[in-house]
Amino acid sequence: MAANMYRVGDYVYFENSSSNPYLIRRIEELNKTANGNVEAKVVCLFRRRDISANLNTLADSNARDFEEESKQPSMLEQQKHQLKHRELFLSRQFESLPATHIRGKCNVTLLNETDVLTGYLEREDCFFYSLVFDPVQKTLLADQGEIRVGSKYQAEIPDKLDEVDSDSRVQEKLETKVWDPNNQLKDPQIDQFLVVARAVGTFARALDCSSSIRQPSLHMSAAAASRDITLFHAMDTLQKNGYDLAKAMSTLVPQGGPVLCRDEMEEWSASEAMLFEEALEKYGKDFNDIRQDFLPWKSLASVVQFYYMWKTTDRYIQQKRLKAAEADSKLKQVYIPTYTKPNPNQISAPGSKPGMNGATGYQKGLSCESCHTAQSQQWYAWGPPNMQCRLCASCWIYWKKYGGLKTPTQLEGATRTGSDAAPRGHMTRQEVQGMSPFTSSAGRAKLLAKNRQTFILQTTKLTRIARRVCQDILQSHRAARRPYASINANAVKAECMIRLPKAAKGAMKNRIIPRPSLINIVKELALQAPLKLKAPRGAPTPINRNQVNQPRSTSALLGKRPFDNAGGHSLSTNGRPFALGMRAATQSVIKRQKVSQGDAPNPVVFVATKDTRALRKHLTQAEMRRAARKPHLPVRIKLPVPPRPLPVPIIPSSTSEPIVLED
């Protein structure tokens, strides 16, 4: 009964997903909604898996500093791995969650220098935190509420002097004397002087313009003059004047006018006081955040002093009564029964047939991904569905509570044999994929060099018949041109079942597609076979184009083959030889760099020249679409007839005969 009773201030597990780990939250309020349900206002705590890699590096550095300062005992690699699952990060983010999603209690404490880290591993449902995470700013800061316990925080007490020895220290340098109880004045005289100091303070506020606005009535001015700041000033005046009342009176009222002493309650305006109350409601007694977000023009000492003076006012008493009344109306505790529904990730329930609860397709002989055991009363699916990973019952509970696996996996940089693996940041793609546990287990899908999953579309006999019978509805040519458009397969199959009895009476008309013979195909492939180019003997061709000045058109990017080296001879844009009059610029053979399988270039690269671009202008839009849909067919281009040259007038050559001009 007590285990299922949850109160304000408890740290609890919340489940928001059947496959993800529990959320760890602290209950701040329990509210009853209009429909009768109970909602919990909670404070969010984050795990290491919820923050970025940069912040994880910062948390690792903070953990190493803590271990060095507190002199923690040495731990095994598995203990260090599990200890990261026990570390949480506090935040000031609030959210409301249904109370029915609570799955149990846990214990979260602030990490102290006197704590032993291995003690958290020995206790179940025990976590610690030392840093505060800001989800908005994405920052990780040290918690200000540190309990200073340890030898370096203890005061150094000097040795006790003997009765015969005298204290040789200078008392004036050690402390300042502010009041002497053994003075010559009597208590009634001191009280009379304090009354005179209050009267002088009231008169000083009447003369001050700003004070008369804040305290418009005489009663308010007298109340402000009766505060501790006036009494401290009066007693300090007596001490400075050697407890001489005549000199102290003249000090209270100098020639310039009476002395006005004001504390933080008078210095703050009403709007500033409202901002302080709003900040106190949001941040509590975190005066650094109050000053930074609400009152940046005030000093930290002024904020702290105002807080303790504000607690003596009627405003504080009224708010305290309102909060007490609200707390009485809210729920103090709520009873949540134990959650007994089966998890959807169960592969097979005890006593049921294999293949239940999403176990279809799971292979036999797979072991637990965490503890590598092959026997368990209950198995749970874990990870991507296509990888078919699973966890045993105990590792599944560990995953839900602590957000990780008991042992470090190969994906986390550790092997099953315990050998230290190199950091993933210094590995190639194939090396990282080779570390995956999915590539080493028998019967599992192999990861390709490229991050793509292969799939096969295997059609049934009814589907193949429906393509012929319902050809007018399916429109296979149109669907092939638009593969992104969805096809209503159920409607096509339903129409096929209606048309199939009628279509069975007549013979199906199959369109015969003329196909070339095998001999012709072999001859055509032999003509298009690429020729191996031999590099000229002599000095090796430089790889870096900065070593030798080369034309820009002949430089290859990332070691890809140039156009004329792709197949041994020039190719057109549709795979056929160039037409007459089309030439490709000769390019030098460049030594190719070794490229990985995943980054390998395409086998053929088509480069457009001036001639091919000129030929494209003579193609119509319909011909370009036809060439794009059927790139294996040759493109027929009708070149325009060149214009006839204009006749050049024949100019007679000059002779030696004279030129006669007739008048």
Q: What's the pLDDT tens digit per position in 455-490?
A: 667 778 888 888 888 888 888 888 888 887 888 877
pLDDT for 440 equals 43
Asked whether 336 and 102 are in contact (CB, 8 A), the reply is yes
pLDDT for 531 equals 55
Tokens standing for 661?
Answer: 């001009």
Give which of 396, 383, 436, 438 is closest to 413, Cα–Cα: 436
How far is Cα 275 from Cα 286, in angstroms, rounded to an integer?
A: 14
> What share of the chain has pLDDT > 90, as a percent?
15
Map residue 491 onto helix, strand or coil: helix
pLDDT class for 648, splitting at 50, 70, 90?
Answer: low
pLDDT for 95 equals 92
Quick one: average pLDDT of 265-278? 85
> What share of the chain has pLDDT > 70, as a percent?
69
299-332: b (≥16 Cβ within 10 Å) or e: eeebbebbbebbeeeeeeeeeeeeeeeeeeeebe
Mean model confidence pLDDT for the chain: 75
Comparing 655 with 80, the larger pLDDT belongs to 80
Tokens standing for 510?
Answer: 């199959």
Q: Is 44 exposed, middle or buried (0-12, 13-18, 19+ CB in 10 A)?
A: buried
Helix axes 314-329, 270-283, angle to 10 degrees: 30
Where does 208-267 have alpha helices with state H? 209-214, 218-225, 228-240, 245-252, 264-267
Tokens standing for 125?
Answer: 């449902």
How far is Cα 373 from Cα 369, in angstroms, rounded to an integer?
A: 8
Angle at 403 between CA 399 and CA 406, to 5 degrees: 55
Tokens standing for 39?
Answer: 């909602």
How far is Cα 440 from Cα 468, in angstroms, rounded to an integer?
A: 45
Comparing 571 with 215, the larger pLDDT belongs to 215
How far is Cα 383 from Cα 355, in angstroms, rounded to an integer?
A: 18
How far is Cα 391 from Cα 376, in angstroms, rounded to an integer?
A: 9
How far is Cα 371 from Cα 115, in angstroms, rounded to an integer?
A: 29
Quick one: average pLDDT of 366-388? 85
pLDDT class for 265, splitting at 50, 70, 90?
Answer: confident
Look up residue 445 and give its DSSP letter.
P
Q: What is the DSSP string of 333-362?
A: EEE-PPP-SPPTTEEE-TTSPTT-SS-TTP
566-578: b (≥16 Cβ within 10 Å) or e: bbeeebbbeeeeb
pLDDT class for 365, splitting at 50, 70, 90?
Answer: low
Where does 241-356 have alpha helices with state H? 245-252, 264-267, 270-283, 287-293, 300-310, 314-329
User: pLDDT for 249-262, tens place per residue?
Assistant: 888 888 877 888 87
Q: Which of 297-306, 341-350, 368-377, 405-414 has the lowest mean pLDDT?
A: 405-414
Q: Which of 171-180, 400-409, 504-513 has the lowest mean pLDDT?
A: 504-513
Residues 6+ apart with CB under 8 A from 131: 59, 62, 89, 90, 140, 141, 142, 143
Provide the 10 A C-beta neighbour count for residue 271.
8
pLDDT for 530 equals 58
Provide the 10 A C-beta neighbour count for residue 129.
20
3-class secondary structure for 586-638? Answer: CCCCCCCCCCCCCCCCCCCCCCCCHHHHHHHCCCCHHHHHHHHHCCCCCCCCC
pLDDT for 273 equals 87
Map residue 150 onto helix, strand or coil: coil
pLDDT for 579 equals 44
Integer angstrom CA distances of residue 522 from 36, 415, 516, 529, 572: 80, 51, 10, 10, 21
pLDDT for 81 equals 92
pLDDT class for 208, splitting at 50, 70, 90?
Answer: confident
Quick one: average pLDDT of 364-371? 79
Tokens standing for 533?
Answer: 């180019």
Look up residue 444 and give its DSSP letter.
S
Integer angstrom CA distances of residue 415 from 410, 419, 434, 444: 5, 6, 11, 18
